[in-house]
Amino acid sequence: MMPERIADEAILRAVDDGFARQVAFLQDLVRFPSQRGEEHPAQSFMAAAYEADGYAVDMWRVDVDEIRDLPGFSPVAVSYDDAFNVVATHTPRNATGRSLILNGHIDVVPTGPLDRWVRDPYDPVIEDGWMHGRGAGDMKAGLSACLYALSALRSLGYQPAANVYLQSVVEEECTGNGALACLQRGYRADAAFIPEPLEPRLMRAQVGPIWFRVEVDGDPQHASGAFSAGANAIEKAFVIIQALKQLEIVWNARKVDDRHFHDHPHPIRFNLGKIEGGEWTSSVPARCVFEMRVATYPGQRLEDARAELEACIADAARADPFLANRPPKMTYNGFMAEGYVLE
């Protein structure tokens, strides 16, 4: 017997009927400052919401030792001592359809300078149809939408005909290891849907990210130069940064050979995300550290990308009289993921 088809209009009405509750739930969720390493209270909130809706809930602490040797693992940037994943499972009485994972992440990026906000970033308000608050879009709205989409079906007296896994994961903003931990725990499905706040269309190709850190030493002296001019670590860091930005141009030129990104104006970005250097205005900086996030094309092997990055830094250092004798130290400290295409 063919399964009964639910009219689209009925589903949309059911979603509309529950939308005010969904928005209120999202506001409550945004009030949790769930930056990386601080997600536990928000995850407990999600677990309680899933349990209240009758789902079987699995909440566990992510164990790095269980995932570090798996494909897709990225170097850990922040301790996992208090990092918990939550998965809620809908199990039908008689499974006949295809299973589905609805995945979202609970962690949010830092707020940035608070004086750039007109209000507390964790006190969400709605203005002109938009909710303002850190993490409202990326991606607590997606987590809320998944939960209330199933609630809308239930309100019509229906349920999915196969297992559905509602996943609220940690560690998406810097590695993706939270989702990897769900796979390690055995959660599999015929398809996965991740409601990130992108354009209202399905995305089936994405670049891969690599995070790395570069430490540059200088020769600290007094800025007067009475004894020696020294070598300014901040200025030397920009020797390396400029070389990397030139490599960004080279990688973007390769888009002509990529059928998914050939028409993208700038698919590969080398983002200089953090830089720290110097201790005293009248001292030549002894050390400068910068961190960068770079993108890779689908099909570009991580080993090849890393080799190019490392060679770029080494070549730039060898060409500088000071850095040739004090080469920078490069380490990988977060995302290490290949790009992908879903055919």
Which residues carry out catalysis? 107, 172
- What DSSP assignment string belongs to 171-206? -TTTT-HHHHHHHHTT---SEEE---SS-SS---EE
Residue 83, Cβ density class (10 Å: 0-12 exposed, 13-18 middle, ≥19 buried)? buried
Residue 274 to residue 259: CA distance in whole angstroms: 32
Listed in sequence order, the residues at least 6 apart from 6 whose beta carbon sits closer than 8 Å to its beta carbon are 153, 156, 158
Please tell me whether residue 306 adopts helix, strand or coil conformation: helix
Q: Are 171 and 83 in contact (CB under 8 A)?
A: yes
Which one, of 239, 245, 247, lies nearest residue 316 by Cα? 239
Please tell me whether residue 227 adopts helix, strand or coil conformation: coil
* ∠ Cα 74 76 78 (to 5°): 145
Which one, of 176, 185, 179, 170, lies nearest residue 80 by Cα? 170
* ∠ Cα 237 243 249 (to 5°): 140
Judge if the upstream peptide bond of residue 139 is cis by omega within 30 degrees of 0: yes
Other Cβ atoms closer than 10 A to 263: 10
